[in-house]
Chain A
């Protein structure tokens, strides 16, 4: 008896602690902010698309206000060959929690992007997306590319606060159709005679009426019918169906056909001009990378695990007439900036920046000079954004953009990449 009481007490204690543990987990849980910026393989993030100049403005809005997302991207020449290419089909998307925003406009290199497109590798694409805040909240907004058969590629995100609008009126999204009607897409086609609700109620009522006839008006249902059919045998089982059943079924059959025909003709009359769903790829003219007159050849690269740093040895030749200074190395959305140069704009709310994360072995590359340069990109961000997984990837190669400036402050950039060797100790 004592043992049973002890067991019960122990079980109650376990229940209490379980509830406490669940509550603690709920209280300690942080914000969900991931759209994949840390989840994908490090080498994949480095060698697919280089996003830069990403800007979300403004960062504090009210429901109904406009938000503009702009930036540029370079499609990597080091795109993994085994992965479906961005050269086939890609869609410019936006990473937000569902339709908390309306997308009013999006374009790449000036071409509207309602549909999918294709991006040749090694080119620059300037994108712009205009959103309208729809639901109040705090959101992490990312530009995003969906690559067919490959997956999503996300740019860095920015936190955006959306407050309720002052009027408190319901959100409306009005557009004008080609026939000239102004409609609110939030509620379009739902209510009123001939709307979605109307027809669904009609069919649900007809369906229920049919089932009520067969299940509600019969004296004998499942078990009695089963017994009778077993007794009669399959040859005579149809005797269970009465003349009334035939008549009622005929009425339902005719009524249903008439309703379908009526609905179809009514809609044809009410909406005489309709078109099929539209699809198909659109073409975008790419922009060449403004590489300037710097010739870069990567000699080798090593990733030091303990120091969280990527060291790249490159041979750089300045074929221009202006001295050049290396200002930044960008890979997997992380900006490693050379504090000595101090160039490169940092936008409001921008994340993933190491302000002094880039060390360059030479300050200035003079015109005509050819020199071996060591670039060291070092920061805890390698760890924070799970880039240290680079050494565990099945395809250990890196790629990134280096940004450099001439003596009048003109910015150039080009992609570098190659094999990377790990240094464990």
Chain B
């Protein structure tokens, strides 16, 4: 393509953009845009639902399926890790092009809704597990903090520091409100167990034996046994790093549109 041709294209493009801007003053055009926006939201949310459901199932599945997997060391680390990498990649594009701080909330809300549907149909109705053993965790509160941090600071970097950190650190406190009853102690056959452990034992899972759980085990490397706060701090740091890395990945993906333009 010659330089003259390139300048011509740029000129045509500039004219188009001018027309686009003028269309925003046209009520009929705005009405049409709104209809298209409805379709776009539907498509985006469907894509987010399918994407996060598959990704979360493959990476943090069992930690979210079973109450006797939600420990205080691995679950608060794995869950924000896997959520933030998905959220980070999408947040960049939506923020860069639309300045809408909604992705984290949308992803966690959709995940929550689809998880409830899945637990009810697959686990309760089909596999006969009680809902008390398989209810999903919630991450919506963390996502709102992340999105609000972005909306308030208007900076991806600062929001990664604040929102990403809080997203990782507050997984346990957020869910503790309704998970605490499952950590109440029980004596069973002379052995100390939590209610969650006992449920895992009584409600039979043929291919999920006790040893398969990846949960906290005793170790010499603790600070006076303060596992929960230490995990929260570490998860917060990981949250910042993971979110930042995947924002960067999102920026790279966002840059791929130049190839789309060439194809068009």
Binding site for B on A (CB under 8 A): 35, 89, 91, 93-105, 112, 114-116, 134-135, 144, 146, 148, 152, 173, 175-179, 181, 183, 185-190, 194-196, 198-200, 203-204, 206-208, 210-211, 214-215, 219-231, 234, 237-238, 240-241, 245-246, 249-250, 252-253, 256-257, 259-261, 263-264, 266-268, 270-271, 273-280
Contacts and interface: CB of A to CB of B under 8 A. Distances in A.
A253 B40 contact: no
A190 B210 contact: no
A231 B22 CA distance: 11
Given A175-B198, A229-B97, 4 more contacts: A178-B187, A190-B131, A221-B41, A278-B192
A185 B130 contact: yes
A41 B133 CA distance: 35
B105 A225 contact: no
B210 to A, nearest CB: 5
B135 interface: yes
Given A91-B209, A179-B184, A222-B41, A279 B128 contact: no
- Interface range, B side: 35 or more
Nearest to B172: A264
Given A98-B204, A185-B199, A246-B151, A221 B102 contact: no
Contacts of A116: 209-211
A220 B24 contact: yes
Interface of B: 17, 20-21, 23-24, 30, 33-34, 36-37, 40-41, 68, 70-72, 96-102, 105-106, 108-109, 112-113, 116, 127-133, 135-136, 138, 140-141, 143-145, 147-149, 151-152, 154, 170, 173-174, 176-199, 201-207, 209-213, 215-218, 227
Contacts, number: 305
Contacts of A237: 99
Contact of B180 (A187, A198, A224, A270): A270
A284 B7 CA distance: 82
A94 B112 contact: no
Contacts of A175: 186, 188, 195, 198
A102 B129 CA distance: 11
A81 to B, nearest CB: 21
Contact of B40 (A148, A178, A210, A222): A222
A274 B141 contact: no
B153 to A, nearest CB: 10
Contacts of A260: 141, 170, 173-174
A274 B194 contact: yes
A225 B100 contact: yes
B232 to A, nearest CB: 11
Contacts of B178: 189, 194-196, 198-200, 263, 267
24 contacts: A35-B206, A91-B209, A103-B204, A134-B128, A146-B207, A146-B211, A148-B209, A152-B207, A173-B202, A183-B195, A189-B178, A199-B177, A207-B144, A210-B144, A219-B30, A224-B33, A231-B20, A237-B99, A253-B148, A253-B149, A275-B185, A277-B183, A277-B215, A278-B191
